[in-house]
Amino acid sequence: MSAHPLSLRLDEAQRLNPAFAALIGPTPKPDLSLAEWLATLGSDDLDRLKFSRVELEAHLRALVMQADSLRAPVVGVHSLRILGGRDKNGRAEQLDLELRPGAIVSVVGPTGSGKSRLLGDIECLAQGDTPSGRRILIDGEIPEPARRWAASGKLVAQLSQNMNFVVDLTVGDFVEMHAECRAIDDPEQAAAQVIACANELAGEKFSATTSLTQLSGGQSRALMIADVALLSSSPIVLIDEIENAGINRRQALDLLVASDKIVLISTHDPILALYAHRRIVIAAGAVSEVIETTEAERAHLATLERYDRLMSELREQLRHGARLDALPSFGI
Ligand SMILES: Nc1ncnc2c1ncn2[C@@H]1O[C@H](COP(=O)(O)OP(=O)(O)OP(=O)(O)O)[C@@H](O)[C@H]1O
């Protein structure tokens, strides 16, 4: 299908990916191909869809690829190995790091040091062809080009900072569709589980009938984490910072760890940094250290979480109009 992605029929496309259903809408000619449908659109139609013709074509191709990767069987990965490249000044990066399923690794470093670059290198399974010159091996080998380009989405799921939904679907339809694509026996029940789980992570509750476009940033992030943890077949998950806004970060990570994936999370948050088994420290574009979290550090987590609760409570109180005459002790 990937060779001529736009030869897919409209009715097949709508079945494969909910985004098509939202984009195409009810159609009198379900047996047209995507390419033929695109050719029938006039400028009014394109205005309504808020795409130029070129953009819409690219978008349709991306949706076909996404549907392909969602239908793909679960891929097992036994190891992810990151081989050093060079820092921003061109000096060699001393790095040979192997990660296995169940590993949870934080990526820390000053703003602009190269945390997202490291996640990006893994996402595209870099082979010395990105600014860092790093190389990524899967199960000890260079991934086949097909895995790299056509289906890298199967191996790696990335939750980026900007999770904007453009399709107008309900949360329930969206997650159910994912479950169907992954051939899960009871998609309705699986969707209910994902939504319940996302609601545990997010502060403000939402339901299956909420529209995706109405979700707040924290809610959509929670939904994506629950979806990846419970339904995704991708064995490697990359998270570019779980922001503070109303999401239980610790619980989110527990969920991902339980799903036996390799999880890398770039973060400025000390709790997440210490919650990981290991933390990769980045400076000037290169990994400067890989630190194992010690027992002593883990023991500090409880205290840090108390501080964190204090800050959240203060945030909540101020949000509700409280005045801060005296600093509450909150038992610290
Ligand atoms: N080894 C490298 N060689 C050359 N350029 C690099 C290297 N590592 C990172 N960069 C570049 O440096 C810039 C900043 O990196 P990046 O966005 O990854 O930082 P960050 O640590 O994620 O920052 P923030 O904390 O603000 O999100 C990017 O343009 C990135 O491509």
Residue-wise pLDDT tens digits, 234-249: 788 888 776 655 566 6
> Do 301 and 249 fall into the same domain?
no
Instruction: Characterize 63-99 residue by residue with b for buried, 16 or more Cβ atoms within 10 angstroms of its Cβ, and e for exposed.
Output: bbbebbbbbbeeeebeebbbbbbbbeeeeebebeeeb
> Do 177 and 245 fall into the same domain?
yes
Number of separate domains in the chain: 3
> Do 182 and 302 fall into the same domain?
no
Domain that residue 128 falls in: 80-293
> Do 275 and 326 fall into the same domain?
no
Going from the Cα of 107 to the center of ligand 1, the distance in angstroms, rounded, reads 12
For the domain that residue 96 is a member of, what is the CATH number? 3.40.50.300
Higher pLDDT, 289 or 56: 289
> Do 14 and 135 fall into the same domain?
no
Q: What is the pLDDT of residues 179-188, one digit of tens each?
A: 777 667 788 8
Q: What is the pLDDT of residues 30-58, one digit of tens each?
A: 899 999 999 999 998 888 777 788 878 87
Mean pLDDT in the chain?
82
Going from the Cα of 85 to the center of ligand 1, the distance in angstroms, rounded, reads 14
> Do 124 and 273 fall into the same domain?
yes
Please report how many Cα atoms fall inside a 13 Å half-sphere around the Cα of residue 53, on the Cβ side: 10
Higher pLDDT, 16 or 86: 86
> Do 127 and 273 fall into the same domain?
yes
> Do 38 and 118 fall into the same domain?
no
Going from the Cα of 111 to the center of ligand 1, the distance in angstroms, rounded, reads 8
- Indicate the pLDDT class of residue 264, thresholds 50, 70 and 90: very high
Q: What is the pLDDT of residues 88-124, one digit of tens each?
A: 999 999 999 999 988 989 999 999 999 999 999 998 8
Distance CA 9, CA 6 (A): 8
Going from the Cα of 118 to the center of ligand 1, the distance in angstroms, rounded, reads 8
Asked if the model's pLDDT at residue 152 lies above 60, the reply is no
Domain boundary among 38, 71, 104: 71
Higher pLDDT, 134 or 236: 134
Q: Which of 174, 176, 259, 179 is nearest to 215 (CA)?
A: 174
Domain boundary among 71, 98, 122: 71
69 CB within 6 A, ligand 1: no
- Indicate the pLDDT class of residue 133, thresholds 50, 70 and 90: very high
> Do 323 and 284 fall into the same domain?
no
Among 85-89, 170-174, 215-219, which stretch is predicted with the lowest mean pLDDT?
Answer: 215-219
> Do 187 and 312 fall into the same domain?
no
Going from the Cα of 162 to the center of ligand 1, the distance in angstroms, rounded, reads 17
> Do 42 and 86 fall into the same domain?
no
> Do 104 and 198 fall into the same domain?
yes
Give the position, in ligand 1's atom list, of the atom nearest the Cα of 114: 18
- Please tell me which of 85-89, 148-152, 188-192, 209-213 the model is most confident about, judged by mean pLDDT: 85-89
What's the complex ipTM?
Answer: 0.98
Nearest CA to ligand 1 atom 16: 114
For the CA atoms of 18, 19, 20, 21, the dihedral, rounded to the nearest 10 degrees, stands at 50
Confidence (pLDDT) at 165? 53
The 10 Å Cβ neighbour count of residue 206 is 20
Q: What pTM did the predictor assign?
A: 0.71
Higher pLDDT, 75 or 290: 290
Give the position, in ligand 1's atom list, of the atom nearest the Cα of 161: 27
Asked if the model's pLDDT at residue 223 lies above 90, the reply is no
The stretch 268-273 carries a mean pLDDT of: 87
